[in-house]
Amino acid sequence: MAKINGAQILLRALKEEGVDTIFGYPGGAVIDIFDVMAREFSDVFKFILVRHEQAAVHAADGYARATGKPGICLVTSGPGGTNTVTGLATAYMDSIPVVVFTGQVPTPLIGNDAFQEADIVGITRPCTKHNYLVSNVEELARTIKEAFIISSTGRPGPVLVDLPKDVVQAKAEFEYPRTVELSTYKPTVKAHIPSIKRAADLIAEAERPVIYAGGGVITAGAHEELRALAEMTGFPVTMTLMGLGCFPGTHPLSLGMLGMHGTYRANMAVNHSDLLLAVGARFDDRVTGRVEGFAPEAKIIHIDIDPTSIQKNIGVEVPIVADARNALGKLIEALKKKGCSKANRDRLKTWHAQLTVWRNEQRLRFDRTSETIKPQYVVEKLYELTAGRAIISTEVGQNQMWAAQYYLFDQPRTLLTSGGLGTMGYGFPAAIGAQVAFPDKLVIDIAGDGSIQMNIQELATVAQYKLPIKIAILNNGYLGMVRQWQERFYDNVYAHTDMMAAPDFVKLAEAYGALGLRATTTAEVEPTIKKALETDGPVVIDFVVEREEGVYPMVPAGASITNMILV
C-alpha cells in the first residue's frame, strides 16, 4: 500500500466520516492541508472561508445544531488556535458536537516559543470534551476516528485535534478504522428498567405534574417520544432555552420557557408541581433561580445521558442515566402496561384548570399602541410572516429572550442560540453554518446592535458565498440586557452601556454587497420584513426600537422563580 502524507490522511478520514463542509481560515502551519484540499478534494468538501476563527467555530456549531452532525473547523497555529477558544467554550457549555483541527509548529520546536506557537491543548483542556496533540503520523487516522466518536456520542461536545506541521508532512499508509474501542469511555445509553418502573409509578400517582425538557431531547432525537408521552399522560411541558422546539410551542400542553425570563405560568407550574419529570436538562441557575425554592413540593425524575449532571444542582428521587430517546420509549411502554393514561388525564383536570388561570393572569404582553417600534412586535411579525418555519439564530441578551418568548418553535433544530456561555457574536456565524447546511431554507439572525458588531465582518463571508441570510437588528442603542439590570438594580446608572456611537447598518450592509433596510416606526415593520423576505440575497434590517424596553417576566438573581418582576 502506497504511503501518503498526513494532510491526505486527514482529508481522507474526513471523507470517510461523511464530512461535506469545513469552516476555517488558512495559515502557515496548515498550508499543506489546504494545498491537498484544493488539489485533490475540491469536489468532496465545501470549504467556507470565514473572516475570523471564532466565527469558524460558531459556524461549525450552527451547522451541527441545525443538522445533528458534527461541525468541522480547520485553522492554523498560534492565534488561529487561540481565536477558537470562545467558540469551543460555547459548544462545550451547550453540548454541541464540533471537531476543531488546529495547526501546530513542528514537533521539535514545541516548547521553544517558536513563531505562532501556542499550547492550544493546554489552553482548551477546560473547554473541550477531549483534545489531542498528534505526535506521530501513524496515529493520525485512529485519532481522528476517536475524535468523532467522542464528540458525537454520550453527552456531545467539542474535540480539538492539534496537528504539528511535521506530522502533517510525514507519510504513512492509510487505513481508517471502522470503529475503535475506548476502554475508559463507554456512555450508558439504555435505561435501567427498575428505575423506569419507579418513574412510571410516580407518574401514575401525580396530580400536579410538569415535564421539564431541555436540549438533550433535541440531541437525542427524542422529540416524537416526548410528544407521545405528554399527549398520553396529559402532562404539561415546559422547556429550557436550549430545549425550545423539542416540543411544539403551539401545542395546548406547552407552557413555554421557564426560568429567569420564562412565562408566568411555566414558573408557577414548576413551583407548585408535585412531580417534575426532567429530560435532557441540567438544572442550571437560569432555570432554578434560588435552589432552595425550586419545585419545593415536587418529586423529581431526572433523565440524562451525563451522570455528572444528575444530583449536581438538585436532588432527585429517580435518577435515570440513559439516552433520552431510549428512556422515554421505555417509559411509554411501562405506562401503557400500567394502563394509566386515561386515569392520568381525568385526575389532572383540576391541575389544567389552574394552569389556565395562571396563563390568563399574566400573558406575555407589550404596548401595542406605540408608534415607536417595540422589539417584541418585530419578533412577533417575523413569526407571523415566516409562518414559524424559519431557522432562527440569535445573539445574546434582550434580543435572545424576545426571540425565545415571541417566536414559537414547533420543530427541533430550528433555534440556534448560545445558552450556557451566553456568547455575544454567536448568532450571525451560526446562521452561516445553518444556511450552508440548508441552502434552500430561510435563516434569520435576530440580533442586538451590540452583539451583531462582535462578528460583523462575516458579512464578507455571506457576500462571498451568496448566502441569503436575513439579519434583524433590534437596535436600541444600548447593551440592552446590562442596561436593564442597571435600571432595576443599580439606580439607573447606565455605566458604559450606551452604544449610540454605532455604524449606519444600512450603509455597512451595502458596503459588503448586501441589501440594507431600516424601519423607524411600527407601521414600517411589516412592509420592511416582507421586502427582506422577498429578496434573494443577504439582507440587514435595522429596526430602530424603543430604547429602554425591558424583557419581562424577569426573576432577579438569587430569587425564587416565582418572584417575578412582571413589568
Active site residues: 53, 115-116, 165, 481
Give exposure, 125-138, as e/b (b: 16+ Cβ within 10 Å): eebbbbbbbbeebe
The pair phi, psi for residue 260, each rounded to 5°, is -55, -40
Helix, strand, coil content of the chain in percent (nearest 5): 45, 20, 40
User: Euclidean distance between the first and final Cα of the chain, in Å?
Assistant: 71
- In 3D space, the residue among 301, 343, 337 whose CA is nearest the CA of residue 322 turns out to be 301
Give exposure, 504-513, as e/b (b: 16+ Cβ within 10 Å): ebbebbeebe
What residues have CB less than 8 Å from 353, skipping those under 6 apart?
none
Q: List C-alpha distances in Å: 507 to 114, 464, 477.
A: 42, 18, 17
- In 3D space, the residue among 374, 394, 292, 356 whose CA is nearest the CA of residue 552 turns out to be 374
CA distance 379 to 377: 5
Question: Burial, 367: exposed, middle or buried (Cβ in 10 Å; 0-12, 13-18, 19+)?
Answer: exposed
CA distance 395 to 390: 16
CA distance 349 to 359: 15
CA distance 529 to 543: 10
- Look at residue 426 and give its three-state secondary structure: coil
CA distance 148 to 221: 18
Q: How far is CA 202 from the centre of its chain?
A: 32
Torsion of CA 359, 361, 363, 367, to 10 degrees: 170
Residue 556 DSSP symbol: P
Rg (CA), the chain: 24
